[in-house]
Structure 1
Amino acid sequence: MGDSVLGSNWFNPDYLFNQGIKFFHDAFNITINPDVISLYHTILMLFALFFLTIISYASIRLFEIRAKERKHLGHEIAEYAHYQTERVKKRVEGDSGSKNERWGKTLGYLFSQHPSDWKLAIIEADSMLESLMDQLGFKGVALGDKLKSADQDKFHSLTSAWEVHTIRNRIAHEGAAFSMSQHEAKRVIAIYEHIFRDFGFI
């Protein structure tokens, strides 16, 4: 029994080597078989078509999602713009009903689409400031003189009043050469508004 096992071809290096050569030779012959090569090409083509289909589908879905996002964003922007317009309109209408009708006129200029009107808003607000100074009893020929006659104790917003009045003078003296954004105009008008509300003028 032991001799038969030890004498088996599986323990013969030459036999194992020849079997290995035969195996790889047969495998190589199979791989170069035209039918097998054609099968490989078919399988590879199917895989390529599969992945191209996946990529195409993913690309189409991505474009659809982005289109929906753009549409949604456009809708959101339109709604926000409408909301802002309505809010401004209500504010103007509400302030127009204040006890000082000139304030509504000032805001009308401020929220106009024309840059020249933004300057008119400041000029109108400055004229209102002069009326307030008259009402408070400050003396002077022009608003600048009335501001000079005021003091911080009686007129707490004196520094702010000088700031906005100086801007108004630049508008009057420089005319069209003086450039101003609507954002800056709103900032200036907000200062006037603070002064007016302090004295219950609007």
Structure 2
Amino acid sequence: MNAADTYNSSNPLIKDSVLGSKFFNPDYLFDQENAFLRFLLTEKNLEYLYIILSLLAIFFLAVIIYVTIRMFEIRKKEHEYLHHEIAEYAHNQALREKESQSNEVFKNPRWKKVLDYLVSINENDWKLAIIEADLMLFDLLVKLEFNGESLGDKLKEANLNSFPSLNIAWEVHNIRNKIAHEGSSFEISSHEAKRVIALYEQIFREFGYI
């Protein structure tokens, strides 16, 4: 008999009370804990525990993979939606600009053709706008009686006194040459195309050509 049992048996007040229960006996609780651990840590139970932990690991890994895939799918859909909205806005904006320009009357009808190309949503049309504007620039220099076979030759004959927009003309003509020489490999944005056409417009309005 251990000391706790001796003390409990010698003290009737404790023996007959809740404190006298074996569940308050440290030795009993320690023995029960050891028995539970021996049962839990048997080889068979460890195998079950390993299987359960493995299944949980596979489950959580599958959840992580699923969530990652869904995130990429959502981002892809958001990107496609945004791209669609931008394209639709650009298309509607082009239609509004085209409708607005259709009501304008130009001194040179060829300029309307340039603007029609410019408001398109196709990059090739923007290039055509620049090429057409460059042809108009050539005709303007012919009208101004500058000598030379090509536009470049005529610009070489000009100076800032006779042609104040000479530097601008060289800039836009060089861009036109890149389009002609590089073809489809030459890329140009809508913003850049509009900037170039605006420079042509500056030249033409300076001489009352449009």
- TM tier, smaller: 0.5 to 0.7
Deviation at 1:79, TM superposition (A): 0.9
Q: Is 1:161–2:166 an aligned residue pair?
A: no
- Seen in structure 2, the aligned counterparts of structure 1 residues 147 and 62 have a Cα distance that, compared at 3 Å, is closer
Q: Please name the residue that 2:62 is paired with.
A: 56
Q: Please name the residue that 2:188 is paired with.
A: 183
Q: Please name the residue that 1:195 is paired with.
A: 203
Deviation at 1:183, TM superposition (A): 1.0
Q: Is the 8 A contact 1:95 1:103 kept in 2?
A: no
Amino acid at match of 1:51: A
Q: Please name the residue that 1:71 is paired with.
A: 77
Deviation at 1:148, TM superposition (A): 6.3
Q: Is 1:107–2:112 an aligned residue pair?
A: no
Instruction: Deviation per CA, 1:29-55: give whole Å up to 9, x if none.
Output: x97x89811111111211221222111
Q: Is the 8 A contact 1:164 1:192 kept in 2?
A: yes
* Structural mapping, 1:1-202, within 5 Å: 36-100=42-106, 101-110=109-118, 111=120, 113=122, 115=124, 120-129=128-137, 138-140=144-146, 144=151, 151-153=159-161, 155-165=163-173, 179=183, 181=186, 183=188, 186=193, 188-198=196-206, 202=210
Q: Distance in 2 between matches of 1:112 and 1:73?
A: 19
Q: Is the 8 A contact 1:160 1:191 kept in 2?
A: yes
- Seen in structure 2, the aligned counterparts of structure 1 residues 43 and 118 have a Cα distance that, compared at 3 Å, is closer
- TM-score, normalization: structure 2? 0.56
Q: Distance in 2 between matches of 1:114 and 1:46?
A: 60
Q: Distance in 1 between matches of 2:172 and 2:146?
A: 18
5+ long unaligned stretches in structure 2: 1-33
Could you say what secondary structure the match of 2:183 adopts?
Answer: coil
5+ long unaligned stretches in structure 1: 1-26
Could you say what secondary structure the match of 1:156 adopts?
Answer: coil
Q: Distance in 2 between matches of 1:165 and 1:195?
A: 12
Q: Is the 8 A contact 1:147 1:158 kept in 2?
A: yes
Q: Distance in 2 between matches of 1:34 and 1:44?
A: 12
Instruction: Deviation per CA, 1:162-192: give whole Å up to 9, x if none.
Output: 4444666898xxx7x6625351882643431
Q: Count how many residue pairs are aligned between Structure 1 and Structure 2.
A: 166
- TM-score, normalization: structure 1? 0.58
